[in-house]
Chains A and B, each alone.
Chain A
Amino acid sequence: EIVMTQSPATLSVSPGERATLSCRASQSVGSNLAWYQQKPGQAPRLLIYGASTRATGISARFSGSRSGTEFTLTISSLQSEDFAVYYCQQYNNWPPYTFGQGTKLEIK
Chain B
Amino acid sequence: QVQVLESGGGVVQPGRSLRLSCVASGFTFSSYDMHWVRQAPGKGLEWMAVISYDGSNQFYADSVKGRFTISRDSSKNTLYLQMNSLRAEDTAVYYCAKEGGSFGGSYPFDYWGQGTLVTVSS
- Name A's B-contacting residues (CB within 8 A): 32, 34, 36, 38, 42-46, 49, 55, 87, 89, 91-92, 94-102
Give, as a whole number of angstroms, the nearest-CB distance from A46 to chain B: 5
Stretch at the interface among B8-16, B71-79, B80-88, B110-118: B110-118
Question: How many angstroms from the CA of A59 to the CA of B114 in the assembled complex?
Answer: 22
Knowing A43-B114, A43-B115, A95-B61 touch, does A32 contact B47 (C-beta < 8 A)?
no
Known: A49-B110, A96-B61. 14 other contacts (CB 8 A): A32-B106, A43-B112, A44-B109, A49-B108, A89-B45, A89-B109, A91-B106, A92-B106, A95-B47, A95-B50, A97-B47, A99-B45, A99-B47, A102-B44
Total A-B Cβ pairs within 8 A = 60
Specify which chain B residues have a CB less than 8 angstroms from the CB of A44 in the assembled complex: 45, 95, 109, 112
* B45 in contact with A55 (CB, 8 Å): no
Which residues of chain A are near B115, meaning CB under 8 Å?
Answer: 43
A45, B100: Cβ atoms under 8 Å?
no
Inside 8 A of A100's CB, which chain B residues have their CB? 44
Min Cβ gap B118→A in Å is 16
| Contact of A46 with B44 in the complex, beta carbons under 8 Å | no
Pairwise interchain contact A89-B106, C-beta atoms closer than 8 A:
no
Given A46-B100, A95-B59, A99-B46: A89 touches B108 (CB 8 Å cut-off): yes
* CB contact list, B36-84 vs A, under 8 A: 44-47, 50, 59-62
Q: In the complex, which residues of chain B have a beta carbon less than 8 angstroms from the beta carbon of A49?
A: 100, 107-108, 110
Cα A25 to Cα B108 in complex, Å, equals 16
Chain B residues with a Cβ closer than 8 Å to the other chain, count: 22
- Chain B residues at the A interface, C-beta cutoff of 8 Å: 35, 44-47, 50, 59-62, 95, 100, 106-115
Q: Check A46–B109 contact: CB distance below 8 A.
A: yes
Is the CB–CB distance between A55 and B44 below 8 Å? Answer: no
Known interface pairs A87-B44, A100-B44; A95-B60 also in contact (CB < 8 Å)? yes
Is there an interface contact between A91 and B108, defined as CB atoms closer than 8 Å? yes
Q: Report whether B113 and A43 are in contact in the complex, using a CB–CB cutoff of 8 Å.
A: yes
Query: Can you list 25 contacts pairing A with B, beta carbon distance less than 8 Å?
Result: A32-B106, A34-B109, A38-B45, A43-B112, A43-B114, A44-B45, A44-B109, A44-B112, A45-B112, A46-B108, A46-B110, A46-B111, A49-B100, A49-B108, A49-B110, A87-B45, A89-B45, A89-B108, A89-B109, A91-B107, A91-B108, A95-B60, A96-B62, A99-B44, A99-B45
